[in-house]
Amino acid sequence: MVALPGSVLSVEPDLRMKTVKAGFIARALAIYRVDLAIIYRDEETRQGDAELLKLLLDYEATPPHLRRRLYPLRPELRYAGLLPPLRTFPHDAPLEPSPGAVVDGVIVGRDSRGCRVYLGRLGYWRLRGCGKPAGTVVTVKIVDVNSKEVVEASWDGIYPGYSSTLMPSLDSVIRWARGRGYVTVAASRLGQCLDRGLACRILREARSRGGVLLAFGGPHGTLYGRAGFDYIVNTVPFQGVKTVRTEEALHSLLALLNAVREVDWCEDSL
């Protein structure tokens, strides 16, 4: 999971640029299969920017065929058309219904027979034995095209996308993560270089402890020296610019950890 300050949007001059930056962050989260984005308020976060970042990230994570049902017109989404397509698997709904197809839908009503589920261009279907309230997003599998019946399903190992939540401060994020035993890692240009050995150590601990929190500071702040982190790492040594932006550090840290995990370099390390 990843922790980001609301101030990543506060440095942008207007809603248009804030929306563009949120799209850049959303793509990074999805590319590297982040499960949870925690947005916290730091001293640089302007009023409403943490909530705006969550709204834009949630909108991006929602399958396009469900957005009109879940998001009424509102001024904060004025430039939502600038958000890049996320293209996770749940976002590519089938053009035609077929038995066995898995798709995300939204519950639009309930009766004694179950729930009525909207599947975008596939129309309305019946989910029997469902007691969830209207507005709930569910993953279903098409059972019968003629009777338009579906059953609850899952993406069965396929990355479904991230979710997001708000927390009042970085300290609250750290307490929450450490209370669950997670490895806590902060990104800072003053931290130790994230080489292969250190990356493998972090991932091994994360596997044994149940997860890892990757925390990023604001545009003008640093997490170096802050208590509560197991590791403080630098993922852009010998940087050629004065500052590495938060969204750029997000990409570099996630890319390095992802490479070690997928190539399985850790077998020969440490």
For 233-264, the DSSP string reads: EESSTT-SSS---HHHHHHHHHHHHHHHHHHT
Distance CA 8, CA 247 (A): 8
Distance CA 117, CA 140 (A): 9
Residues 100, 142: one domain? Answer: yes
**Smallest Cα–Cα separation from 88: which of 107, 62, 52, 120?**
62
Q: What's the pLDDT score for residue 261?
A: 72
Beta bridge partners of 114: 111, 128
Residues 144, 169: one domain? Answer: no
Listed in sequence order, the residues at least 6 apart from 30 whose beta carbon sits closer than 8 Å to its beta carbon are 61, 86, 87, 88, 159, 161, 162
Residues 241, 173: one domain? Answer: yes
Residues 95, 217: one domain? Answer: no
Spacing of C-alpha 51 from chain mean position: 15
Residues 121, 54: one domain? Answer: no
Residues 115, 245: one domain? Answer: no
Residues 40, 165: one domain? Answer: yes
Listed in sequence order, the residues at least 6 apart from 224 whose beta carbon sits closer than 8 Å to its beta carbon are 186, 188, 189, 190, 191, 232
By residue range, what is the domain housing residue 113?
91-152
Pairing of strands 114-118, 124-128: antiparallel
Q: What's the pLDDT score for residue 266?
A: 63
Three-state DSSP state, 185: strand
Distance CA 267, CA 252 (A): 22
Residues 144, 12: one domain? Answer: no
Residues 117, 239: one domain? Answer: no
Q: What's the pLDDT score for residue 270?
A: 43
Beta bridge partners of 214: 2, 185
Residues 178, 237: one domain? Answer: yes
Per-10-residue mean pLDDT of the chain, 270 residues long, equals: 96 96 97 96 94 98 95 95 94 92 94 89 91 91 93 92 97 95 94 91 91 92 86 91 90 91 56
Beta bridge partners of 116: 109, 126
Can you give the three-state secondary structure of 104-169, one letter per residue? EEEEEEEECCEEEEECHHHCEEEEECCCCCCCCEEEEEEEECCCCEEEECCCCCCCCCCEEEEECC
Residues 244, 171: one domain? Answer: yes
Distance CA 233, CA 89 (A): 32
Q: Which of 135, 152, 169 is the last residue of a domain?
A: 152
Q: Which of 105, 127, 152 is the last residue of a domain?
A: 152
CATH number at residue 9: 3.40.1280.10
Cβ atoms of 123 and 69 closer than 8 Å: no
Q: What's the pLDDT score for residue 70?
A: 95
Distance CA 147, CA 25 (A): 41
Q: What's the pLDDT score for residue 114?
A: 85
Distance CA 176, CA 74 (A): 32
CA angle 133, 137, 143 (to 5 degrees): 100
CATH number at residue 133: 2.40.50.140
Residues 235, 199: one domain? Answer: yes
Q: Which of 134, 152, 170 is the last residue of a domain?
A: 152
Task: State how many domains the chain has.
Answer: 2
